Amino acid sequence: MTCRFNRLISNRSEGAHSGVPLLKDTPLVGEAFNSNVLNAKDRTELRIIIRPVVMSN
């Protein structure tokens, strides 16, 4: 009999925020001078498989 544990998942994403220094922070026109870039997405899944074995002497 083998026991398996799944769904130990970790998600990670990295991004950068850049723009024109003073204009990106203004309330009405800030979105035109702003840029968000998603650099990387990473998903890690850990799988653990256990198989018990009975040993005799």
Q: What is the mean pLDDT of residues 46-53?
A: 84
Asked if pLDDT for residue 44 goes beyond 80, the answer is: yes
Looking at residue 56, its pLDDT comes to 86
Q: How far apart are CA 47 and CA 12, in angstroms?
A: 18
> Does residue 19 come out as left (phi exceeding 0), alpha (psi in the -120 to 50 range) or beta?
left
Spatial CB neighbours of 15, under 8 Å, sequence gap ≥ 6: 36, 37, 38, 39
Asked if pLDDT for residue 10 goes beyond 80, the answer is: yes
pLDDT-derived band of residue 46, with 50, 70 and 90 as boundaries?
confident
